[in-house]
């Protein structure tokens, strides 16, 4: 009987852990959007207006845009977007 209850507790903990991971979306960060899907006018750069329409999931669009626009020219190039590493979320 003792083995059965240990097995039941282990199974319950496993299910609870799996549900928690699924609810958090796993340990993988959200996928980066494709550059061309944000560059609506197809001019090869992303303006703040285009970026704002893509609805950044966390934070202020202007702040995030400025973090990605590393050369500060007011546009995000494909290279700047691909090299951007979003900050890790606190656990």
pTM to 2 decimal places = 0.62
Indicate whether 17 and 56 sit together in one domain.
no
Neighbouring residues of 72: CB distance < 8 A, sequence distance ≥ 6: 66
What distance in Å separates the CA atoms of residue 41 and residue 74, rounded to the nearest whole number? 16
Indicate whether 22 and 36 sit together in one domain.
no
User: Considering its fold, how many domains does the chain have in total?
Assistant: 2
What distance in Å separates the CA atoms of residue 41 and residue 78, rounded to the nearest whole number? 14
Indicate whether 1 and 14 sit together in one domain.
yes
Indicate whether 62 and 21 sit together in one domain.
no
What distance in Å separates the CA atoms of residue 70 and residue 91, rounded to the nearest whole number? 27
pLDDT digits 0-9 by tens, 32-48: 778 999 999 999 999 99
Indicate whether 19 and 53 sit together in one domain.
no
The pLDDT value recorded for residue 21 is 53
> How would you write the pLDDT of the chain (91 residues) with one tens digit per residue?
455 455 555 444 454 455 555 555 555 656 677 899 999 999 999 999 999 988 766 778 999 999 999 999 999 999 999 999 877 776 6
Q: Provide the domain limits for residue 66.
A: 31-91
């Amino acid at each position: 009987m003792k083995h059965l209850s240990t097995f039941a507790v282990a199974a319950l903990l496993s299910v609870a852990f799996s549900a928690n991971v699924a609810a958090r979306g796993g340990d993988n960060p959200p996928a980066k959007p494709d550059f061309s899907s944000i560059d609506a006018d197809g001019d090869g750069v992303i303006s703040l207006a285009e970026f704002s329409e893509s609805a950044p999931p966390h934070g202020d669009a202007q702040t995030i845009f400025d973090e990605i626009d590393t050369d500060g020219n007011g546009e995000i190039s494909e290279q700047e977007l691909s090299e951007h590493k979003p900050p890790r979320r606190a656990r």
